[in-house]
Amino acid sequence: MAKAIEIKNFSYKYPDGTIALSDITLSVEHGQKVALIGPNGAGKSTLLLAMGGFLKGTGKVLINGLEVTKKTLKQIRTMVGSCLEDPDDQLFMPNLFEDVAFGPLNMGLEAEQVKSRVADALKTVGLTDMADKAPHHLSAGQKRAAAIATILSMRPEIITLDEPDGGLDPRNRNNLITLLAGLPQTLIIATCDMNFAAAVAERAILLDNGRIIADSHSRKIMWDSQLMAEHGLEVPSK
């Protein structure tokens, strides 16, 4: 069976010549929860964009054995759900119901199927009563959960999340950890917060300067105080 994600010698340069990712090779098994950790500017967000087929670099990115190319983009995007860093970028429809229904409608599903998926996604993130609300009426924690619901309604096999814990208070952060830990999908989470990463992911990939520095069990990497300090990170507090 093909791996959920397979990246082979992938490199990407920004238009100004800055190398964002250099010779990245990694693979992720189905159902694995992986934390992409590293300091700001390490290339975490860029790698997530490459997984969603939003960047064209050199090397190969395969999702479920299918190479990401212009021709396969539509299939790739039904398999990979990308949740952006700022939920305001993710929630662009006038109300939450329409936002969560946006993906399934574009997939060409029947109205009843769409409604059922929207109801399921909103129930999973605990926002069933908020379906009619406009995104600007939601709190930061609700926006984050809503952004995840917009992805869940498409039922992707892989979900990528860019700094999902950003700006959340402890209660909302814990709710998010519980939500993510309970999802059956393969999760790739980019974060600078080691406590959050340790609570959600069993595997960690440490990136710095666009290169993979370490790739192992979360505990092995995140509790290595010397390694963490060398790359401007902290050991989790618990």
Q: Which residues bind other proteins (CB under 8 A)?
A: 49, 52, 54, 74, 77-78, 80-82, 84, 86, 88-95, 97-98, 101-103, 105-107, 111, 114-115, 132, 134-136, 150-151, 154
In whole angstroms, how close is the CB of 160 to other proteins at the nearest point? Answer: 9
Distance of alpha carbon 53 from alpha carbon 186, whole angstroms: 17
CB of 180 to other proteins, least distance (A): 18
Nearest to 205 by CA among 20, 14, 3, 47: 47
Rounded-to-integer distance, Cα 131 and Cα 118, Å: 9
Q: Using the minimum distance from each CB to other proteins, give the nearer residue, 42 or 49.
A: 49
Q: Between 1 and 129, name the residue whose CB sits nearer to other proteins.
A: 129
Shortest separation between residue 154's beta carbon and other proteins, angstroms? 7
Cα–Cα dist 79/169, whole Å: 31
Q: Residue 70 and residue 126: Cα distance in Å, rounded?
A: 36
> Minimum distance from CB of 196 to other proteins (Å)?
22
Q: Closer to other proteins at the Cβ: 111 or 229?
A: 111
Sign of CA dihedral 129, 134, 135, 141: negative
**Between 38 and 104, whose beta carbon lies closer to other proteins?**
104
Min dist. Cβ of residue 109 to other proteins (A): 10
Q: Which two tokens stand for residue 37?
A: 């950790």
* Residues 60/38, Cβ–Cβ less than 8 Å: no
